[in-house]
Amino acid sequence: MTLIIFFIILGLIIFIHEFGHFIFAKRAGIYVYEFSLGFGPKLLSFKRKNDPTEYMIKLIPLGGYVAMAGEDELVDNDNSKIKIKDDEKLYNKTFFQRFMVMIAGAMNNFILGIVLLFIMGLIYGTSTASTTLSDIPKNGSLYEAGGRNGDVITKINGKKVKTYDDIQTYLAINGEGNKVDITLKDKNNIENTYNIKPKLSKEDSKYYYGISVKVKNNKGFISALTYAKDKFISIYKSMFVIIGSLFTGKLGIDSLSGPVGIYSVVDASQSSLQMLLYLTAYLSINIGFMNLIPFPAFDGGRVLFLIIEKIKGSKISMKVEATINSIGFIFLMGLMILVTIKDIFNLF
């Protein structure tokens, strides 16, 4: 059952992403050779009446693609027998049309994430955790350092805190078991910073800072809409913080997870539809964000090439772009292998 749920979640996110590229390519009048879910050997394929695109499901369900005319020279060469008009090729479309085709996948992922968060809020209601301390344990590190109920967490390690998600993100980046600087604003608007060392729990062998905050429960259409908007912004912001921490070295490769890690989370969440909805929304927003990073092989890398073309006033060689994207793809596959090996070792 976990495997089925895993493939459904992954398949939905991939389909929504690729459908974004596909629908904008079709609207722009670009010839689409293939629409594929997965890579490797073909399991199923079909064509619709009066539609030249071949729709496929392939063996390895860890991605997908939309093969368009004028996007990749090798793909065009493989389909050289097909007569395609010049105005049906991607590189002959306007800057705006090409831009929209490239970002449409990530846009769809964001929309899916927001819709799922809204549905979750509508069905189950919303629990909004604030940054105001409430019911903090008296034997916890924060209380012993000087924190009191009613105090507001304003900074962690000097970084401004606006939401509870900010608190979770900055504590995660700080590293398990490490001391952390937490700035609190009391009822008199006086700020004090405390250097806190977390305590190791004997029950689950995890470290706790003794942080407990006020939680507000809401129900209704407007609350669900507000929750979806606020949660999307919060998740998106946390992606910036995490990626920045990876580049600065505050987070290492051990903090990343691949398909095996996602499978483990699905396994732990499968008993709760609410958790599965949140996980799918989170992964969809995550994938949308990652794809917009201006790195070769990502959609953001293709957008970067497009912007460079616009600035220099001439097209970049398809061979040059394909070579750079191939190097980026090899790097990403290498990283994926390392992360997967790490995830497998963590299972034992």
Annotated catalytic residues are 18
In 3-state terms, what secondary structure has residue 193?
strand
Could you write out the DSSP letters of every residue in 151-175?
A: -EEEEETTEE--SHHHHHHHHHHH-
Which of the 8 DSSP states describes residue 14? H
- Residue tagged 């980046």 (tokens): 173
Burial of 184 (0-12, 13-18, 19+ CB in 10 A): buried
Is residue 127 within 8 A of residue 219, CB to CB? The reply is no
Cα distances (Å, whole numbers) of residue 273 to 7, 133, 223, 228, 278: 16, 29, 20, 17, 9
Contacts of residue 313, defined as CB under 8 A and 6 or more positions apart, other chains included, come to none
Nearest-angstrom CA–CA distance, 154 and 259? 35
Is residue 218 within 8 A of residue 125, CB to CB? The reply is yes
Long-range Cβ contacts of 49-52 (<8 Å, 24+ apart): 52/82
Which of the 8 DSSP states describes residue 203? T
Which tokens sit at 76? 């065009």
